[in-house]
Amino acid sequence: MRRPSIRTQLLKGTTPLLVLTVLRDGELYGYEIAQRIRDRSGGAFAPSEGSLYPTLHALEAEGALQAEWRISDKGPKRRYYRVTGSGGAMLAEHDKAWAEFSIGVQAVVRP
């Protein structure tokens, strides 16, 4: 079995944070979400598309996201996601946890 890359492992726990963050600015569908994250990171990384959809569906099941089918600019219908009120609270919580975590990691790795 192939060992997951370090980047994949690091990204795994942050996918909900990344998804909620890019959706904070407006509703997007799955492929756009992946593209938006890739663009914002300057092409440095994007969530695994295999983990993106399970994350979207889990967040929707938890009530953090709402989704609806709509015709996209490109023609065929797409499933658009947007952040709900509880999703906003979840984002704030994830954001705070991430800030504390990254500061802690930085302090250890680059003292």
- Interacting residues toward another protein by CB under 8 A: 29-31, 35, 48-51, 53-58, 61-62, 69, 74, 76-79
Minimum Å gap between C-beta 31 and another protein is 4
- Cβ-based nearer residue to another protein, 7 or 77: 77
Minimum Å gap between C-beta 53 and another protein is 6
Minimum Å gap between C-beta 109 and another protein is 29
Distances from the Cα of 5 to the Cα of 10, 12, 31, 41, 111, angstroms: 9, 11, 22, 18, 25
